[in-house]
Amino acid sequence: MNVTHSDTHKVSVIVPICNVERYLDQCLLSIERQTFGNLEVICLNDGSKDGSSAIAHAHAERDARISVVDKPNEGYGATCNRGLDLANGRLRCHRGAG
């Protein structure tokens, strides 16, 4: 089912990221393949020291639904809460990359 109506509720997918370059590309590709039109993806890079930030930014460059927030490491809970604060969707979910 491909839902693209403008009156459809926006879905926010929050992706907390910390040193998950091994899994991040596959995670974001699976989200990008979703056909639901009213979707925002918020990637929160929690101070990764590997290539996670570069991978997230590469996906954001080719898919306007994806945004990336680079921030110092604050831990999983604080990162998820920040994502909830930034989310615009009526429906919200978390998607772990690892």
Is residue 41 predicted with pLDDT exceeding 60?
A: yes
pLDDT tens string 16-30? 999 999 999 999 999
Closest CA to 24 of 5, 1, 42, 51: 51
Please report where in the chains the tokens 């989200």 appear, as a residue: 31
- Integer angstrom CA distances of residue 13 from 28, 49, 50, 72: 10, 23, 22, 21
Please give the Cα distance from 41 to 33 (Å, whole number): 12
What is the separation of C-alpha 51 from the centre of its chain, rounded to a whole number of angstroms? 16
pLDDT tens string 49-91? 999 999 999 999 999 999 999 999 999 999 999 999 999 998 8
